[in-house]
Amino acid sequence: MPSREEQVAQVEAVLRQRFFPLVPQDGPDGWSSEQHDANRLTRSLAAYSIARLCGLDDAAAAECITDGGDDGGIDAAHYDRANNQLVLVQSKFKRNGTAPSQQETLATVNGVKALREKRFTQFNARFQGRIDEIEEALDTAGVGITIVMAHLGDALGSHATADLNAYAAEANTVAEVVRWKDCGLAVVHGWITDQHAPGNVTINVTLELWKCVTTPRKAVYGQITAASLAALAERHGTKLFQRNIRHYLGTHGVNAAIVGTVQATPGDLFYLNNGITIVAEEIRPGGGTETRCAFDFVNASIVNGAQTAGAMLTASQNGTISADARLLVTVIEIGQNADELGVRITRARNHQNIVRGIDFAALDPTQERLRRELAAAGYRYFYRPSEEARIPNPQSITVEEAAVALACLSYVPLTRAEVDIRRARGQTYRNAIDLVVAAKKEVSRLWDQSGPLYPQLFSADLTGVRVCRLVRVFRMLNAILDGSERVEAAYARRMFFRHGRLFIMAFVGQRCAAVVNRAGHDLTDADRAELSRATNEIAEAIYAESMDRQWEKGYLAIFRNLGDAQPLADRVIRRLTAPPAPAAPAAPTPATAVGVPPGVTPGIVPPATGAAPDAPGDAPATDGPTTPRTDEPRGPVT
């Protein structure tokens, strides 16, 4: 579960993204920029409360804001005709978690009393623009008044609660007229994540030549037309594949062949395709015969056949699909709350095809929770392979990128001695060096759910805010180190920055822990400056400690082998934690040391500019052949 600070950061990100374009700055001229910003966030929270509780779009909710002088302690008002209620909101955006005080609550109570008594003239101009609908609500029999206290605290205090209860009791002597809601941080944050939860899909399908199995579990199987499957994919989109490990990967390879079959020889599709598998909470047959019958499949998902369904949709967009194109479909009823059974079916059915270990991350509920939390902040998190996930976008994050960022920046580099001590004591240890070596040597280990690394990285307490921040830090550091690689002339230096960047990031994460671990999605200019400075300093320190080894093995071998990377880490840790050397006494005359070139201080290693030159006869720092390879990958390297 996100920490309190992370929940506040997520709420703030949503308010800024969705409502700041609609809620202009409005406050006394003498206010500081911080006061204006806090006031704008408070009014945005009031609008967001109206949007969520009354089902309004953001623009309409922003029009409901009444905050300002003479607002009667009411920051937003709306007559919700659909739900027969007049909603009156007081909001307080206070990052320290302070709930509305008793005085602030009494101001709202008195404002509600004034509205009910129709003392409208004491309210501000914004209220006057909404008086007609407010008066209509007050004059309509059966319309209740809902007082909403929206804030970032845990709960209203006992005195504020008592005052609201007392007023509700006073107003409800004949019937319930007034009710109130305490919408603290947990409620507001819940609005954000619940909004992005996938909806249930009930699909209507006509099966032909179908049969039924009733024990030990109900299932039906039969034929479905390719055109009807395409229509389902178009109508429901990715919701149709909620339990699948993948979304549609695009029209290439096997998928292109499927489209080609549908278009050229539609009658062959039934024989060439494996068909699709659907799991559903309930199977509801309609009228019909064994030859042809309509079914409703409640809360259904295609768990095997996303590529087939996507190919059918593509074929339908290219032209009419022949009625001869048919597929086999199997539908298994799993009942309510049968997530474990659904996962077993998904895993078993998909093991019949070639899949990667990362694909099964889709079955981990933590990944879906992270998707919702990131969606609330305006980021798209792809934990299922899809065509869209391949498109670079600064607002998109893939599970693969998240895994590498977590491996590089989440843990502290330990020395071999520290690892041995923890191991001898039976303690659990998380050594960043182990993780970055795994990421460099065999990155798939990071998302192998049966291995030891995945649960360390994607733990139950990992939050979307943290994933977002670590990925942003990772991208920045990767860009810095990629730039360093490009500008280096010496081959050894280029290979150091290419293959050592994950190792470097682990030490930057330790040095800049306050920046890396701060709750918040965005990096400030100060954050970027600190990270940039630390990256350059630490990279040079690591390079200095690695120079003697790289001639023997090469940097690729060093950074993908724990037997080499761990001793290097030990030396780097000693170097970075060593006390500064005492200042040397001033020399009587400058540059008098014998054999020292002008401008070089004795005993000080000058900044590395390439270590060994690429001159003929020098021993090149390679990982095998003596000729530098030209097919090395560029950009983010693992």
Least confident of 127-141, 570-584, 585-599: 585-599
Would the pLDDT of 352 be above 60?
no
Residue 25, C-beta contacts closer than 8 angstroms, at least 6 positions apart: 36, 39, 40
Greater model confidence, 127 or 215 = 127
pLDDT of amino acid 304: 76
Work out the mean pLDDT of the chain and round it to a whole number.
82
How far is it, in rounded angstroms, from Cα 353 to Cα 355? Answer: 6
Judge if pTM exceeds 0.75. Answer: no
Amino acid at 11: V
pLDDT band at 115 (very low <50, low <70, confident <90, very high): very high
Note the Cα 394 to chain centre separation in Å.
12
Would the pLDDT of 182 be above 90?
yes
pLDDT band at 354 (very low <50, low <70, confident <90, very high): very low
Amino acid at 411: Y
The string of pLDDT tens digits covering residues 442-460 is 888 887 777 788 888 998 8
Phi, psi of 330 (to 5 degrees): -120, 130
pLDDT of amino acid 521: 87
The closest alpha carbon to 481, from 508, 518, 521, belongs to 508
pLDDT of amino acid 195: 64
Contact 539, 484 (CB under 8 A): yes
Amino acid at 489: A
